[in-house]
Structure formats: C-alpha cells, structure tokens
Amino acid sequence: MFEQITRVTSGVPYLDALTSGGFIKGTTNLVIGPAGAGKTIFGLHFLLEGARRNENGLLVAMQEPPWAIRRDASSFSFFDHSFFAEPEKIVMLDFTPSGWELWDPDSLTYTEESEMIIEAEGVPYDETSLPTFLHKVFYHISQVVEEKKIERVVIDPLAAFQFYDYGNDFGFLRKLTTGFLANITALNVTTLAISELSGGMEHSLFGEEYIADSIVHLDMLSVRGEMIRILRIGKMRATNHTTQTLRFEINHHGITFLDSEDRD
C-alpha cells in the first residue's frame, strides 16, 4: 500500500494551488536564481507560513546576517517579529563570516565515526576547509532541530560553501553539498535550499539540482526596457504542477503573482 503524501504549504499565495498543495513533507527543495530575484523573500514566506501553522522553522544564514534579514523583511505585511521572540517559532543561526565566532569549536568532538566528516586529498581538515565548516553547521542544525522541534529549514544560500577550501575539486564540492543536504533531510524536516545562478549559468556549481525533490526557478528579464520577475517550476516529484512561466512582483505583501489576477 502506498503511503499518503503530506503537503507543506510554500507560504506564497497562489503557488500552492498550482503545485497540488505545496512541497512534499520531508523533502529537499531548491529555490534558484540570480541576485535580486526574490529568493530570500521566498524562504521567509515559507518560514512565516509554517509559524502560523504552529510548525517551527529554522533559518540558516550563510551570507547575510540574521539581523539584516529581519530588518529588510520588516517592510512586508506577512512578516511578524513576534515569531522570533521567546518562545521562538523561528530560530535563526548565523553562519556568516561575521557570526562564525559565535560557535564554540570545543563543543564538538571528532572521531573516525563522526557524521559529515568527508576527507579529501589536498583539503586540510581545519577551520578554513569546507568539510570542517559543514560538519559544524550540521552539528548545530541537528541540535536546534531536536531541541526546538523544527519542521521547516531554510538554508540561505548554498553559494557560501565556495568561500571555504575544497581543494578546487568541483566533484568533491558537489559530493559535500549533496551529502550535507541529504543529512539535513534525514532529520525529518522539509528543507528549502537557496542557490544562485549568475553569468549566464544554467546549473549551479554544487549539483544540488540532482538531489532536490523540487526546483523553483526565479529570474528577472528586461522586456522593452522594463524589468519583470518570473517563476517557473523545473521539477516537482510526485506532483501535478504547472509548467507555465508565471509573472510576479515584489511589493508590500511580498511575492505577488500577476497571473493570479488574470485567472480569478
């Protein structure tokens, strides 16, 4: 007998109606696009919607510090600061370069059996290496997930991984990234990983498209001198989803689809 699929709402109005109710619970989902396309806002929609449904969330900040994310999000009507106060419905971990010193390296013990330790020739296992960084990040994520009963996780962005030493081995970088995401999904959470495309790239450096259960592409196009934002769903496993390109804007309400007005 097949197990019934449970859906997790995206928090983006209109999108859930086009994806059979949202993401599949317990899956890894990718939001990918260039800078300024609305990826972080999408992640905040996802976390705030979960908090309203009494589903605790975790934002893992890799590039922009949590205080800046909250400051910039304050202008949106869907954002509620009360979810970040005790008792927290949304926890924010600061793994940006400025926040790295917050984490106590002595709180970790390394053994040959430790999860997320991946050795590679030419990559030192020290504070500058990607394996060390990811092991510490995963350790703290797993602790918060257990202690706060987290159900939704947003990682923003995966691009920060390239700031650490991986021996210039892109195959190894992809192995680390996919292994890291698989370990987080194994914590029984629904994950939204944010990734970046730039310079005409069609795929990211990290290969997370292949492990992701769904891929949401956000992009910006110049049409007759006007910048428009578009969204398309590259894949969504076990889901009857729209294949159309959808236009949206970012306003006081956050992400708002223009197409929804045409179809009401």
Domain count, the chain: 1
* pTM beyond 0.75: yes
Structure tokens at 174: 């992809």
In a domain, 231, yes or no: no
Give mean pLDDT, residues 103-117: 49
Residues whose CB is less than 8 angstroms from the CB of residue 138 and which lie 6 or more positions away in sequence, other chains included: 115, 116, 180, 183, 184
Q: What is the DSSP letter of 81?
A: G
Q: Which residue has the higher pLDDT, 21 or 2?
A: 21
Range of the domain at 192: 26-215
Sign for the CA dihedral angle at 125, 111, 158, 71 comes to: negative
Task: List pLDDT tens digits, range 218-230.
Answer: 999 988 888 899 9
Distance, in Å, from the CA atom of 169 to the CA atom of 164, rounded to the nearest integer, reads 12
Residues whose CB is less than 8 angstroms from the CB of residue 52 and which lie 6 or more positions away in sequence, other chains included: none
β partners of residue 59: 92, 154
Under the banding of pLDDT at 50, 70 and 90, the label for residue 210 is confident
**Coil, helix or strand for 182?**
helix
pLDDT at position 262 is 44
Q: Which of 5-9, 99-103, 152-156, 208-212 has the lowest mean pLDDT?
A: 99-103
**Coil, helix or strand for 249?**
strand
In a domain, 74, yes or no: yes
Distance, in Å, from the CA atom of 109 to the CA atom of 114, rounded to the nearest integer, reads 8
- pLDDT of 259 higher than 90: no
In a domain, 134, yes or no: yes
**Residue of 110, 112, 114 lying closest to 127 (CA atoms):** 110
Q: Which residue has the higher pLDDT, 187 or 167?
A: 187
- pLDDT of 16 higher than 50: yes
**Coil, helix or strand for 187?**
coil
Give mean pLDDT, residues 143-157: 96
Cα→Cα distances 11→27, 64, 77, Å: 16, 22, 13
In a domain, 264, yes or no: no
Structure tokens at 238: 């076990």
Structure tokens at 201: 């790239």
Exposure letters 238-256 (e unless 16+ CB within 10 A, then b): ebebbeeebbbeeeeebbb
Q: Which of 24-28, 62-66, 171-175 has the lowest mean pLDDT?
A: 171-175
Largest CA distance in the chain: 59
The half-sphere exposure of 90 on its side-chain side, counting CA atoms within 13 A, is 26
Looking only at the bridges linking them, the beta strands covering 214-223 and 57-61 are: unpaired
In a domain, 148, yes or no: yes
pLDDT at position 226 is 87
pLDDT at position 121 is 57
Structure tokens at 220: 């910006």
Under the banding of pLDDT at 50, 70 and 90, the label for residue 215 is very high
**Coil, helix or strand for 63?**
coil
In a domain, 7, yes or no: no
Distance, in Å, from the CA atom of 192 to the CA atom of 73, rounded to the nearest integer, reads 18
In a domain, 117, yes or no: yes
Residues whose CB is less than 8 angstroms from the CB of residue 107 and which lie 6 or more positions away in sequence, other chains included: 139
**Residue of 41, 51, 36 lying closest to 76 (CA atoms):** 41
In a domain, 106, yes or no: yes
The CATH number linked to 179 is 3.40.50.300
pLDDT at position 105 is 45
